[in-house]
Chains A and B, each alone.
Chain A
Amino acid sequence: MTALDKKLLRDLWDIRSQALAIALVIASGVATSVMSLTALDSLRVSRDTYYRENRFPDVFASLQRAPSSVARRLAEIPGVDHVEARVVSPAKIELSGYEEPIIAALVSVPVDRLPGVDRLFIRRGRPVDVGRLDQIVVSDAFAGIHGLSPGDRLGIIVNGRRRMLTISGVGASPEHIYQIAPGSVFPDFEAFAIVWMARETLAAALDLEGSFNDVALAVRPGASVAEILAQVDEILAPYGGLGAYDRGNQLSHRYLSEELRQLRQMATMFPAIFLAVATFLLNVVANRLVGTQKEQIAVLKAFGYSTGAIGWHYLKIVLAIAVLGILAGTALGAQLGKELGELYMRFYKLPYLVLVISGPMVLTAGGLSALAVALGTAMAVRRAALMAPAEAMRPEPPARYRTTVLERLGFGAWLSPASRMIARDLERRPAKTALSIVGVALAGGILMMGTIFDDSFAALVEIEFRLAQRDDIAVTFVEPRGIEVLSELRHLPGVLRVEPLRAVPVRLRAGHRSYRTQLEGVNPAAELRRLLDHRHRPLDPPATGVMLDDFLGGYLGVRPGDTITVEELTGRRRTRTVAVAALVRRYLGVGAYMEISALNRHLGEGIVFSGAALAVDAREKDAVYAALRSRPGVAGVVVRDAAVARVRETMGNNMIVFAIFASLFAATIAFGVVYNYARISLAERSRELASLRVLGFTRREISAILLGELGVVVLAAIPLALVIGRALCAVMMVGLQTDIVRIPVVVDRDSYAYATAIILASTALSALVARRRLHELDLIGVLKTRE
């Protein structure tokens, strides 16, 4: 090892605590990046592998019913590789000992051959056997939560008839990675199951022998999906086709894609902030280091070391810190990424997770970090290396101070000598002061990003479930029912209030954009299901026109007064142009709304309802469930309390993990910035402070000078941190907006207080360390050495 490298190691050891603090900040940035990218790539590769191996379809369509011969016509469309005609149906499951309603989606599978698309992944047991028409395969998440195994029997109510069926296997399919019951936004593996059964069995139960009501297509590479969609629609139109759609509109695929998009955003946004702070810190430290070693640099030059060699030496010190941070961050990030991937798999039912820690990705993250810190320090090193040796060895002239603005304004008399020293030092180097304030403020801001979810969820639940959806139970019917159903429901014991619901699947178009959703009827006198305006006040539905939630309005690019095309996907399948009457505020799901009698007039099917919202006496809830479950016409039952719990559980789990990381990393940054500031101030002023001690100042007095400066920086940073935090939260929430959920930006006092407390705690800790060093000042030594 060369002597210069030994110097490097010893210099590093000398600044080890600062180096460690910076390495931690870099590690945090790299870890978030590698974590998100590992999770992202692992999930993506797992999904793609699963899609490929289990033949995820390219085109989907539902319809009323069509004879099997229609499937052959679909297969003749140019570019279509394979057609799988299926029978699907909603159903209810009875499970002894489990009182809550369980909804099932039944999907037919061929038993005599492997399906050309959407092949089951059998985790346990076996597929449905040929000739065993009473067998089913159930989704693994549902089976897992209820402890079901092959051989167990389940009661399934389909089309009003109850059948006992035997589980032959537990499995999954690429079409159902995200599993949600109709009308839900979040998965509920306890109350929703996918059940695959022999096509003959299901067709018989639904009186659909020789027919199908759902189809999935595989498309040849290079074929135009848009053209195939149009032709499928044309062929299926006479059979009650509900509009074909591609992967982009397939529920499970769409949700998973959105999730991956968010992950990608997390993988870029956070590391960028962390690295910006780390670059700043390294810049400060390198400047300081180069400043204190000016003479050593001059000596090295005097003895014939070239500018390049000296520059490289200092760059190596900085890079050593960066590499330490990058290695630690990569190791931590890879581990966290695996865990994050597994966490995602609790909601996204991939059968396996292919762990991908790609070399290029880690190298990119590492290379970017190294580049950032190298740039951060290049200037300092350059300045030092270019200095003429004779000049560098000359004692530095006294730093140029001047009276501060405060003093020039005449407030000087009110400042003690110590306060003047603090004020002049802060003002002498405004850039350093400003950057330090911004660094601390950024840390505080990131802290708030970690805590905002708590407040925002509370607000979301409050708005969605106390102001908008206030029903205890929502029921959907298998088929639209007449007005008499309302009085039937009202007469159930325990039901306090009944409000009709009407929803039809539609495709909305505005210009070149379109979106498939439900058009829901809204009752003007509603107490249980209300629309809210952007200030969360109940909104009376206008007598005509359609209302969109603001996410959908933004997606379609329309505002009140604009018109959109509403294409019914059931019934008469008419297409009409309707004015947008208002935008409403919703945080869960996406929808379009219309005054309920206007909707019925629009549909021209008389006064019918597709569901009802109920207010139920809390004591009678169980009885109401039981009554609803036994009704053949009921397709689904959503219990509000369970829905609220699910929102909390789903969002909570994901976000709490994120919040913990963000808080931890932000606390690291806060400490890193404050600690470095304290140490550098101490190093720069040790001579001055020691002189003061020699002149008779007490330790307390010199501590006040050093820590006073720190205090001013931190106090100035706190309000800025709260502003930056609020802004970062808003930016993040915009990025996290999806069809599933939009999180309101609600920051309450707790969050502000938390960010402030952590900044103050970091400051206190740094101050303690700095104070200890202040007490160890070598008074004589400092005065003897040349500056």
Chain B
Amino acid sequence: MPVTLHPSVAVFRIAGLTKRYDMGEVVVYALRGIDLEVFEGEIVVLLGPSGSGKSTLLNIVGGLDTPTSGAVWYRDWELTRAGDSELTEYRRRHVGFVFQFYNLIPSLTARENVAIVTEIADAPMAAEDALELVGLKDRLDHFPSQLSGGQQQRVAIARAVAKRPAVLLCDEPTGALDSATGIVVLEALAKVNRELGTATIIITHNADIAAMADRVVLLSDGIIHEIRRNETKKAARDLHW
């Protein structure tokens, strides 16, 4: 399916985003004034060590968490001012999530884990098609416990993209996988990005993965240190770590 992309159109605009955790007597800053734009169809890798604030940023952008201050716009809608039901609607229509630990529902098969999302989406692809996209056409009726870690993560990707979201948010998608399996998962993400034009944000602490991104955002201590543009993107299968 041909996709018309406007690389200059921002999907997300993030301004002065701050997140503070009050943990009893200790105050921890997860984010200290982040400014960033994410454009249609691009792959952005957020790179940083643990505790750098990557997951917090992703959770806020995904409408799973709220900032202490600052603002996030999805296109021209300010999601940091939205209430619970608006955020639910936002997640339902526009965002797909992939988590480090897959978070599949153990009592549902691969097909049903995808269906649980397509059933509430507006114009989803068939669950089978989504699983075919990630190379799991022959594992439709397997339960999570019958799938390897890489297969489970690919089911999670299928589940995330099946509703044709505008953005795909991936939190350490290969974090729990060995490198060979991880590359298969990344190939699936790249394929989805290529074929559906989904803007994709990938969190990782693995610098090698950054090579497949359009842009790489380097984070530490809740501050963006550098935004780097890759002039030549590497294919996922050419990565190794």
Q: Is the CB of A3 within 8 A of B64?
A: no
Interface membership of A786, Cβ < 8 A: yes
A11 vs B108: C-alpha distance in the bound complex, in angstroms?
Answer: 10
Segment with Cβ contacts to B, from A277-285, A385-393, A446-454, A737-745: A385-393
Residue of A nearest to B111 (CB): A3
Most chain A CB neighbours (cut-off 10 Å) among B65, B108, B116: B116
User: Which residues in window 59-111 of B have CB below 8 A to A?
Assistant: 59, 62, 64-66, 84-85, 88-93, 97, 99, 101, 103, 105, 107-108
Q: Is the CB of A3 within 8 A of B85?
A: no
Chain A residues near B90 (CB-CB < 8 A) = 304
Given A6-B112, A299-B105; A393-B117 close (CB under 8 Å) = no
Give chain B nearest CB distance to A620 CB in angstroms.
Answer: 81
Given A7-B107, A390-B59, A393-B103; A303-B64 close (CB under 8 Å) = no
Residue of B nearest to A296 (CB): B105
Given A3-B112, A3-B113, A3-B115; A304-B120 close (CB under 8 Å) = yes
Q: Is the CB of A303 within 8 A of B85?
A: no
Chain B residues near A786 (CB-CB < 8 A) = 101
Interface membership of B226, Cβ < 8 A: no
Give chain B nearest CB distance to A296 CB in angstroms.
Answer: 5
Chain A residues near B208 (CB-CB < 8 A) = none
Q: Is the CB of A304 within 8 A of B92?
A: yes
A390 vs B60: C-alpha distance in the bound complex, in angstroms?
Answer: 9
A2, A11, A388: the one within 8 Å of B119 (CB): A2
A295 vs B159: C-alpha distance in the bound complex, in angstroms?
Answer: 16
Give chain A nearest CB distance to B65 CB in angstroms.
Answer: 4
Chain B residues near A388 (CB-CB < 8 A) = 64-66
Q: Is the CB of B62 within 8 A of A302?
A: yes
Q: Is the CB of B93 within 8 A of A7?
A: no
Q: Is the CB of B84 within 8 A of A299?
A: no
A7 vs B105: C-alpha distance in the bound complex, in angstroms?
Answer: 8
Q: Is the CB of B112 within 8 A of A307?
A: no
A300 vs B91: C-alpha distance in the bound complex, in angstroms?
Answer: 10
Q: Is the CB of A389 within 8 A of B116?
A: no
B91, B99, B112: the one within 8 Å of A304 (CB): B91
Given A3-B115, A3-B119, A786-B101; A304-B107 close (CB under 8 Å) = no
Interface membership of A403, Cβ < 8 A: no
Chain B residues near A393 (CB-CB < 8 A) = 64, 99, 103
Interface membership of A396, Cβ < 8 A: no
Interface membership of chain A positions 1-20, coded 1 if the CB is closer than 8 angstroms to chain B and 0 otherwise: 01110110011001000000
Interface membership of A301, Cβ < 8 A: yes
Residue of A nearest to B145 (CB): A781
Chain A residues near B120 (CB-CB < 8 A) = 303-305
Give chain B nearest CB distance to A500 CB in angstroms.
Answer: 82
Given A3-B119, A7-B108, A301-B88; A296-B103 close (CB under 8 Å) = yes
A14 vs B108: C-alpha distance in the bound complex, in angstroms?
Answer: 12
B85, B105, B115: the one within 8 Å of A306 (CB): B85
Chain A residues near B92 (CB-CB < 8 A) = 303-305
B84, B107, B116: the one within 8 Å of A300 (CB): B116
Interface membership of chain A positions 31-73, coded 1 if the CB is closer than 8 angstroms to chain B and 0 otherwise: 0000000000000000000000000000000000000000000
Interface membership of A298, Cβ < 8 A: yes
Give chain B nearest CB distance to A72 CB in angstroms.
Answer: 82
Give chain A nearest CB distance to B100 CB in angstroms.
Answer: 9
Q: Is the CB of B65 within 8 A of A390?
A: yes
Residue of A nearest to B120 (CB): A304
A756 vs B166: C-alpha distance in the bound complex, in angstroms?
Answer: 65
A717 vs B137: C-alpha distance in the bound complex, in angstroms?
Answer: 56
Give chain A nearest CB distance to B50 CB in angstroms.
Answer: 13
Chain A: how many interface residues by the 8 Å CB criterion? Answer: 26
Residue of A nearest to B117 (CB): A303
A2 vs B64: C-alpha distance in the bound complex, in angstroms?
Answer: 25
A302 vs B59: C-alpha distance in the bound complex, in angstroms?
Answer: 10
Residue of A nearest to B149 (CB): A784
A276 vs B69: C-alpha distance in the bound complex, in angstroms?
Answer: 47
Give chain B nearest CB distance to A310 CB in angstroms.
Answer: 10
A257 vs B113: C-alpha distance in the bound complex, in angstroms?
Answer: 61
Chain A residues near B112 (CB-CB < 8 A) = 3, 6-7
Most chain B CB neighbours (cut-off 10 Å) among A298, A300, A302: A302
User: Which residues in window 160-177 of B have CB below 8 A to A?
Assistant: none
Most chain B CB neighbours (cut-off 10 Å) among A3, A11, A305, A390: A3
Chain B residues near A303 (CB-CB < 8 A) = 91-92, 97, 116-117, 120, 159
Interface membership of chain A positions 328-353, coded 1 if the CB is closer than 8 angstroms to chain B and 0 otherwise: 00000000000000000000000000
A493 vs B121: C-alpha distance in the bound complex, in angstroms?
Answer: 101
Interface membership of chain B positions 43-68, coded 1 if the CB is closer than 8 angstroms to chain A and 0 otherwise: 00000000000000001001011100
Most chain B CB neighbours (cut-off 10 Å) among A295, A300, A389: A389
Give chain A nearest CB distance to B121 CB in angstroms.
Answer: 8
Chain B residues near A301 (CB-CB < 8 A) = 64, 88, 91
Q: Is the CB of B88 within 8 A of A304?
A: yes
Chain A residues near B99 (CB-CB < 8 A) = 299, 393
Most chain B CB neighbours (cut-off 10 Å) among A6, A299, A301: A299
Give chain B nearest CB distance to A488 CB in angstroms.
Answer: 89
B91, B93, B113: the one within 8 Å of A302 (CB): B91
Chain A residues near B108 (CB-CB < 8 A) = 3, 6-7, 10
A307 vs B87: C-alpha distance in the bound complex, in angstroms?
Answer: 11
A14 vs B106: C-alpha distance in the bound complex, in angstroms?
Answer: 11
Residue of A nearest to B93 (CB): A304
Given A299-B103, A304-B93, A390-B65; A7-B116 close (CB under 8 Å) = yes
A223 vs B92: C-alpha distance in the bound complex, in angstroms?
Answer: 71
Chain A residues near B64 (CB-CB < 8 A) = 298, 301-302, 388-390, 393
Q: Is the CB of A302 within 8 A of B97?
A: yes
Give chain B nearest CB distance to A387 CB in angstroms.
Answer: 11
Chain A residues near B66 (CB-CB < 8 A) = 388
A10 vs B105: C-alpha distance in the bound complex, in angstroms?
Answer: 11
A649 vs B108: C-alpha distance in the bound complex, in angstroms?
Answer: 59
User: Which residues in window 191-208 of B have CB below 8 A to A?
Assistant: none
A11 vs B90: C-alpha distance in the bound complex, in angstroms?
Answer: 28
Chain A residues near B117 (CB-CB < 8 A) = 303-304
Chain B residues near A307 (CB-CB < 8 A) = 84, 88
Most chain B CB neighbours (cut-off 10 Å) among A295, A303, A306: A303
A102 vs B65: C-alpha distance in the bound complex, in angstroms?
Answer: 88
Most chain A CB neighbours (cut-off 10 Å) among B90, B112, B121, B159: B112
Residue of B nearest to A2 (CB): B119
A390 vs B103: C-alpha distance in the bound complex, in angstroms?
Answer: 12
User: Which residues in window 277-321 of A have CB below 8 A to B?
Assistant: 295-296, 298-307
Chain A residues near B65 (CB-CB < 8 A) = 388-391
A3 vs B59: C-alpha distance in the bound complex, in angstroms?
Answer: 25
A227 vs B67: C-alpha distance in the bound complex, in angstroms?
Answer: 82
User: Which residues in window 366-408 of A have CB below 8 A to B?
Assistant: 388-391, 393
Most chain B CB neighbours (cut-off 10 Å) among A4, A304, A390, A393: A304
Chain A residues near B116 (CB-CB < 8 A) = 2-4, 7, 300, 303
Chain A residues near B103 (CB-CB < 8 A) = 295-296, 298-299, 393
Q: Is the CB of B89 within 8 A of A304?
A: yes
A388 vs B56: C-alpha distance in the bound complex, in angstroms?
Answer: 13
Residue of A nearest to B96 (CB): A303
Could you show 7 A-B contacts with beta carbons less than 8 Å apart? Answer: A3-B115, A296-B103, A298-B64, A302-B64, A303-B91, A304-B117, A786-B101
Taking A3-B112, A6-B112, A304-B89 as given, write out 5 further A-B residue pairs in contact, using a Cβ cutoff of 8 Å, ordered by the A residue number: A3-B116, A6-B108, A304-B93, A307-B88, A390-B65
Q: Which 6 A-B pairs have the closest CB atoms?
A: A304-B92, A10-B107, A3-B116, A390-B65, A390-B64, A390-B59
